[in-house]
Amino acid sequence: MGLIVAAIGLVCVLFPWAFYILILAIGLASIYEFNYLCAIKGQPLEYPVAVLGVCAYIAMAVFGILHKWEGVLLAGTVIVAFSIGMYGEQKGYFARTAYTLLAVLYIGKLLTYFIFIRQIEGQGMALTFYVIVIIALTDTFGMLVGKSIGRHGWTRISPNKTIEGSIGSLVIVTLIATAAAWLPELHLQWWQGAALGLATSVAAQVGDLVESAFKRDAGVKDAGAAIAGHGGVLDRFDSYLLGGVTFFATLHLVGILQVQ
């Protein structure tokens, strides 16, 4: 099932609108699972507000107006969440609104960076493949190296992750990203590939731990069961949320993108 999901995702990268719809689907599935985690904690989201917020973030990114209207979107999310919350149970009123805004930012905003990457003129498709492969390999090698030689746990948040697996994955993925920089479609220098691989791999691992912390706080193993063998959609794409924004930021830092 995991290979099928990966194949669908990579094919969608070839076609911008298919990719945008895929991002929207991931966002809607993730916000549903995030609401599930919050509900277990006893404070579910203002769910319709969160859904609309995620959809608005993605739509505004697709049509290139997010930079003008993001402030209005965030203010509207807070105001509407507070207003609707007045008619629900008063206990947890503040927490529901806070969780709703967090969910919109964590899922909606962070997913938009994949749209921004795909829209980069001339290099968007190649760089999107590049970032997806970097993050996917980080997860894969972290598991393989950890199972092979992992002896020392990294954090109690995710007991199965090891220091050896983390470092091994980071080194291997950075080397692969550096080597891939020679591909002419990417238009990268080797040091730019190394920086992108290193920063993105670190962020992907942190993103995985962030979602693990959410699950541990809620007392569950998986956020859902949508993908057989991988848990929920949020479980599968947690690494991508921080990985995508870090990759995009690093593109600026290494001079591939210029600050507008």
Of 119, 148, 165, the residue at which a domain comes to its end is 119
Mean pLDDT score, 79-104: 80
* Biggest CA-to-CA distance, the chain: 58
Are 35 and 57 in a shared domain?
Answer: yes
The region of weakest confidence among 9-13, 97-101, 160-164, 240-244 is 160-164
**127 has pLDDT over 60:** yes
Is 3 domain-assigned? no
Q: Are residues 131 and 115 in the same domain?
A: no
Does residue 102 fall inside a structural domain? Answer: yes
- The 10s digit of each residue's pLDDT in 1-52 is 556 777 788 899 999 999 999 999 999 999 999 999 888 887 888 999 999 9
- Position 181 scores a pLDDT of 95
Enumerate residues 6+ apart whose C-beta is below 8 A from 52.
Answer: none
Is residue 92 domain-shared with residue 129, that is, in the same domain?
no
- The single-letter DSSP state of residue 104 is I
Q: Are 19 and 61 in contact (CB under 8 A)?
A: no
Q: Is residue 4 part of a domain?
A: no
Looking at the structure, tell me whether residues 89 and 196 fall in a common domain. no
- Indicate if the pLDDT at residue 223 is higher than 90: no
pTM, entire model: 0.92
Predicted confidence (pLDDT) at residue 228 exceeds the cutoff of 50: no
Task: Give yes or no for residue 97 having a pLDDT over 50.
Answer: yes
Burial label, 191 (beta-carbon count in 10 A; 0-12, 13-18, 19+): exposed
| Close Cβ partners of 165 (under 8 Å, ≥ 6 residues apart) | 141, 142, 143, 144, 145, 146, 147, 149, 150, 154
Identity of the amino acid at 66: L
Indicate if 42 and 114 belong to the same structural domain: yes
Residue 89: predicted pLDDT: 63
Domain that holds residue 19: 15-119
CA nearest to 210, candidates 234, 246, 245: 234
Residue that terminates a domain, selected from 98, 119, 140: 119
Single-letter amino acid, residue 113: Y
Burial of 105 (0-12, 13-18, 19+ CB in 10 A): middle
Question: For position 57, what pLDDT does the model report?
Answer: 98
Residue that finishes a domain, picked among 88, 119, 150: 119
pLDDT value of residue 215: 80
Q: In one letter, which amino acid is 23?
A: I
Which residues make Cβ contacts (< 8 Å) with residue 84, sequence separation at least 6?
A: 46, 48, 49
Share of the chain above pLDDT 70, in %: 90
Examine residue 170 and state whether it is found in any structural domain, yes or no: yes
Q: Percent of the chain beyond pLDDT 90?
A: 62
Say whether pLDDT at 55 is over 80.
yes
For the stretch 133-164, pLDDT in tens is: 999 999 999 989 988 886 777 777 777 788 89
Question: In 9-47, which positions are buried (b, 16+ CB within 10 angstroms) versus exposed (e)?
Answer: beebbeebeebbebbbebbbbbbbbbbbbbeeeebbbbb
Contact, 250 vs 195, CB < 8 A? Answer: yes
6 in any annotated domain = no
Amino acid letter, residue 259 = V
Question: Would you say residue 85 has pLDDT above 80?
Answer: no
- Are residues 128 and 237 located together in one domain of the fold? yes
Angstrom distance (rounded) from CA 174 to CA 152: 22
Q: Do residues 132 and 228 share a domain?
A: yes
Q: Token pair of 84, please?
A: 């609707």
Distance CA 24, CA 16 (A): 12
Same domain as 155, residue 31: no
Residue 202 lies in a domain: yes
